[in-house]
Amino acid sequence: MARKDRKAAGAARLEALLGAGDFRSAAAEVRRVLADAAAPEAERAAALEAGRRLGPEPGALWAGALAAAAVAVAIALGLLHR
Residue 56 to residue 58: CA distance in whole angstroms:
6
- What DSSP character marks residue 56? P
- Show pLDDT as tens, one digit a residue, over the chain (82 residues): 555 555 567 778 888 988 898 889 999 999 998 898 888 888 888 888 888 888 888 899 999 999 999 999 999 999 988 7
Residue 2: the pLDDT is 55
Residue 16 to residue 54: CA distance in whole angstroms:
14
Helices vs. strands in the chain: H and E counts, helices first? 4, 0
For residue 75, give the H/E element and its range: helix 58-80
Residue 62 to residue 67: CA distance in whole angstroms:
9
